[in-house]
Amino acid sequence: MSVPDEVRAAVARYETALGANDLPELDALFAPGDDTLRADAGGVLVSHATISDYRRGRGGAPARTVTALHVVEHTADLATAVAETLRPDGTRGLQTQVWERGAAGWQVRVAHVSSGPTPSARTAADASSERADPATWRVVGSPLVAPTSAGPLDGVSVAVKDLLDVAGHPVGAGNPVRLAQAVPAAGHAPVLADLLAAGAHVRGIARTDELAYSLSGTNVHHGSPRNPWGAGLVVGGSTNGPASAVARGQADLGLGTDTAGSIRVPASYCGLHGLRPTHGSLPLDGVLQLAPGFDTVGWLTRDAGLLHEVASVLLPGAAPITSLVLATDLLALADAAVGSALTSAAAELAAASGLPVRSAQLVTQEEHERWFTAFRTVQGAQAWAAHGAWIEANPGVLGPGIAQRFADGSAAGPDAVAEAEVVLAEGRAALRARVGEGVAVLLPAASSTAPPVSVPAERKAVYRAATLRLTCLAGVAGLPSAVAPAALVDGLPVGLALLGAAGSDTGLTAVLASWDRRLAPPS
């Protein structure tokens, strides 16, 4: 790799750490010593220790994306990088860094940051978002949208994922270019309108992974929202902004979407309750979709009572759950400590709800792999069909992981997709037959606790695949799945998912309400 390419990679690491406010990584990327400098309009900071103290006190940097990067090689061990940056509100900036290579690799010796004036067209709502965590919120208000009538959700504040229409606001879908091109929505998404009619109000529009095509909750443009369970931990995605807002007490209800786990994974990582409803039970009008064959609207809460109350407002009533089945084959797919903790949690749930529980195998390894592969093929093809034209018209605007998934989806030929759809139909029929009326199948909501934001890309792919094998089953079958914060593993939360028959949504949430399991993050 050439020196410029090495420095570009180092700058990418720096931007990721800056967006996530990953203080240990930022410290490691600045050269040690008393002659390391960082300057901006406020003055010059001298020494690594002084710069480190400054970072710890500022609470994170404003979200931004690098629009252009220029690297000049001076020697084999010295280079200058000038980055042109853009904030979500349109503010442009420049960052100049002198990088030197030593025993610890490439590190910044001198840095200077500058930014231009905020565009005069910025709205008052956008201005208020500057005072909120920009990695969590795109725009906030007090409230941003008032309720339209009184009802059972009076006083409930909602963080709306930046995929759903909020009247008067564009949908950015986690990408600043798309946000700049979007027009304000003429009305609310019907699901949001129903919440407002029940007395809820919108606190703000919260971040999402780009185009909702990720489970990690990181975004190259806006960073990673804070997980209150630990510095530098991912929140989970793609409903990352609402999850962070709810987990940190900034909103009561996170309204988002779930295609392959985007409600259930953040619920598990952040110690929240969540519901992915039966596919097709709620309208997707006013929702920017990823893969229509699997997309659902869903929500997150800190307590099971509110989870059930929202389900009762939005969904028809369901027959009660009468028995629990612990899927031992699916427990085995999670980390050993997670599986053990959830086995104990299943017994606690059974005792609290008064329901019998038994252990059984839900799927064979062979059919699970076939369904998983087919799910990824069809999901990718549908995602490309939904967004491919825009991606081709705006090359280079997506982060590398998201871009690769769309590229994989574009490569799926019609014959491969048709074959995968046949396999999915078989899986759907089989799973619906095995998850009978009145039954809730218990399985891990995610394969592990929340991994670090700084985990290498190859390791992140392992986490994603392991969790997707668990979460894809609800998508394959179109069945509802509710999640409760079930246990702590090494001090971090893990979620227990309940998979029910079609239409059993409120039955599942009623079971969780009877347990009312809560986990509080460290103060």
pLDDT in tens, 352-367: 999 999 999 999 999 9
Place of tokens 């420049």: 94
pLDDT tens track for 460-503: 889 999 999 999 999 999 999 999 999 999 999 999 999 999 99
Scan for tokens 């009877």, then name that residue.
514
pLDDT band at 125 (very low <50, low <70, confident <90, very high): very low
Distance, in Å, from the CA atom of 207 to the CA atom of 218, rounded to the nearest integer, reads 10
pLDDT higher than threshold 60 for residue 122: no
pLDDT at 69 over 60: yes
Residues 6+ away with beta carbon under 8 Å from 110: 36, 37, 38, 97, 98
Is the predicted pLDDT of residue 123 greater than 80, yes or no?
Answer: no
Mean pLDDT of the chain: 94
Average pLDDT over residues 184-195: 98
Poorest-confidence range of 42-51, 79-88, 331-340?
42-51
Domains, in order of start, for the chain: 3-115 (3.10.450.50), 124-314 (3.90.1300.10), 323-515 (3.90.1300.10)
Structure tokens at 486: 């079930």
DSSP state of 451: P
- Predicted TM-score (pTM) of this structure: 0.76
DSSP 518: -
Nearest to 181, CA basis, from 368, 387, 447: 387
CA distance 98 to 71: 10
pLDDT at 166: 98
Quote the crossing angle between the two packed helices 505-515 and 336-353, to the nearest 10°.
Answer: 90
Pair 146, 201: CB distance under 8 Å: yes
Whether residue 402 contacts residue 209, with contact meaning beta carbons closer than 8 Å, is answered with yes
Res. 90 pLDDT band, cuts 50 70 90: confident
Contact 481, 264 (CB under 8 A): yes
Interatomic CA distance for residues 419 and 411, integer angstroms:
15
Assigned token pair, 351? 């005792």
What's the average model confidence in pLDDT over 393-397? 95
* 399: its two tokens: 């982060």
Q: Are 245 and 201 in contact (CB under 8 A)?
A: no
Angle at 41 between CA 39 and CA 46, to 5 degrees: 25
